[in-house]
């Protein structure tokens, strides 16, 4: 009864129900991470392009010691990037491994993997996010995703914000 009442009350305003999959697509369009999907215990705010979240003025904060470790500055750390498949209708499977050369013999030199991948109705194409070794420096480059069934997907590395990157729609 509550559901019916709310849907009827919001009908004139275009109220539309949505589920968790819609929320996943919407957050990916904006490049918002999902903890546990784009992150694990090794990922830092710098790897995610979120250095703005780390205080530059506080003398101490939780995690400061970990961020100061030498390994945190290595250029080959996996970093969050966006992916645009060469065929905008193709959704790269989550977990697919990225390589520079899809014809290299096994074991292949893997760059990283796809963390989130969807078809975006707002962007009218597929979008994906991935954690790639040295990913921030790979923007504009072409990488490949060889799959077990023999298919090979081609994608361009881009920023991970696909929709309204300047936030112009934030105030509706």
Q: 3-state class of 2 per DSSP?
A: helix
pLDDT band at residue 167, thresholds of 50, 70 and 90? confident
Instruction: Read off the pLDDT of residues 60-97 as tens digits, 9 standing for 90 and up.
Output: 988 888 888 888 888 889 999 999 999 999 999 999 99
Tell me the pLDDT band of 104, cut-offs 50, 70 and 90: very high
- 129-152 pLDDT, tens digit per residue, is 999 999 999 999 999 999 989 999
**pLDDT, position 143:** 98
Cα–Cα distances (Å) from 43 to 47, 48, 93, in that order, read 6, 7, 22
Asked if 131 contacts 54 with a C-beta cutoff of 8 angstroms, the reply is: no
Whether residue 107 has a cis bond before it, omega within 30° of 0 = yes
- Cα separation of 83 and 81, whole Å? 7
pLDDT above 90 for 18: no
In the predicted model, is pLDDT for residue 171 greater than 80?
no
Q: Within 13 Å and on the Cβ side, how many CA atoms surround 4? A: 1
* 172 band by pLDDT with thresholds 50, 70 and 90: low
Mean pLDDT rounded to a whole number for the chain = 93
């Amino acid at each position: 009864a509550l559901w019916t009442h709310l849907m009827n009350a919001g009908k004139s305003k275009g109220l539309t129900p949505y589920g968790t999959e819609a929320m996943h697509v919407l957050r990916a369009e904006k490049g918002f991470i999902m903890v546990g999907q784009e992150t694990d215990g090794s990922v830092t705010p710098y790897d995610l392009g979120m250095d703005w979240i780390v205080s530059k003025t506080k003398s101490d904060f939780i995690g400061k010691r970990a961020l100061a470790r030498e390994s945190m500055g290595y250029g080959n750390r996996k970093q969050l990037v966006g992916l645009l498949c060469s065929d905008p209708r193709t959704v790269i499977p989550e977990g697919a491994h990225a390589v520079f050369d899809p014809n290299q013999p096994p074991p292949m030199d893997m760059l990283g993997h796809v963390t989130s991948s969807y078809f975006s109705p707002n962007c009218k194409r597929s979008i994906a996010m991935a954690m790639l070794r040295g990913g921030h420096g790979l923007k504009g480059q072409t990488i490949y995703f060889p799959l077990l069934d023999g298919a090979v997907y081609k994608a361009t590395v881009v920023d991970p914000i696909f929709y309204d990157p300047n936030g112009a729609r934030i105030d509706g």
